[in-house]
């Protein structure tokens, strides 16, 4: 539905959505979204979660191909990073989901209804801190 759609027509540092509800400490999460990204150089941030003292507690980053570097999508759960096996920089709509649990740092990635990858040791036994700020469409710097 259009009333739940966020559109960021330009790459800026001021177009984003901030979730006002405070989140509790989390030992697992699943996040799903529809997104469309073009193949242009640069970086996009579908979501970021920052807590006091840590701007990148949890960040999903989509990088377009540039200067011989292929496009990539990464999930950062401070201080570790997982490269997600998504192919989304094609200007088409894709449904993506990422799950993570603190137990062994196990994560799974899904694109368009198919599991595309999984891994472990992404911040194992390191819960996501509470009282942070969730932002859609922008990385946070504090």
Look up the CATH number of the domain holding residue 27: 2.60.120.200
Q: Give how far the C-alpha of residue 96 lies from the chain's centroid of Cα atoms, to the nearest Å.
A: 10
Q: Residue 61 has what pLDDT?
A: 84
62, burial (CB in 10 Å: exposed 0-12, middle 13-18, buried 19+): buried
Domain presence at residue 52: yes
Q: Residue 137 has what pLDDT?
A: 79
Domain presence at residue 116: yes
Instruction: Note the pTM of the prediction, 2 decimals.
Output: 0.82
Residue 60: give the domain boundaries: 16-136
Kindly state the percentage of the chain with pLDDT values over 90.
38
Using DSSP, state whether 105 is helix, strand or coil: helix
Distinct helix (H) and strand (E) counts, the chain = 0, 10
Using DSSP, state whether 4 is helix, strand or coil: helix
Q: Is the pLDDT of residue 5 over 80?
A: no
Pair of tokens at residue 85: 């096996």
Q: Residue 41 has what pLDDT?
A: 62
Domain presence at residue 7: no
Domain presence at residue 10: no
Q: Residue 86 has what pLDDT?
A: 86
Q: Give how far the C-alpha of residue 71 lies from the chain's centroid of Cα atoms, to the nearest Å.
A: 15
Query: Can you tell me the mean pLDDT for 35-51?
Result: 77
Instruction: Domain count for the chain, please give it.
Output: 1
Domain presence at residue 3: no
Query: Can you tell me the mean pLDDT for 61-78?
Result: 77
Domain presence at residue 68: yes
Pair of tokens at residue 63: 């990088």
Domain presence at residue 4: no
Q: Residue 3 has what pLDDT?
A: 66
Q: Is the pLDDT of residue 60 over 90?
A: no
Domain presence at residue 110: yes
């Amino acid at each position: 539905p259009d009333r739940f759609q966020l559109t960021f027509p330009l790459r800026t540092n001021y177009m984003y959505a901030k979730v006002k509800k405070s989140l509790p400490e989390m030992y697992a999460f699943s996040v799903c979204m529809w997104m469309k990204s073009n193949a242009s150089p640069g970086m996009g941030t579908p979501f970021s979660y920052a807590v006091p003292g840590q701007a990148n507690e949890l960040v999903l980053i989509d990088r377009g191909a540039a200067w011989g570097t292929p496009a990539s999508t990464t999930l950062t759960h401070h201080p570790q990073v997982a490269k997600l096996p998504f192919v989304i920089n094609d200007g088409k709509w894709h449904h993506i989901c990422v799950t993570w649990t603190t137990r062994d740092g196990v994560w799974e990635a899904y694109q368009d209804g198919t599991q595309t990858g999984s891994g472990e040791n992404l911040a194992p036994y390191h819960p996501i801190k509470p009282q942070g700020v969730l932002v859609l469409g922008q990385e946070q710097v504090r």
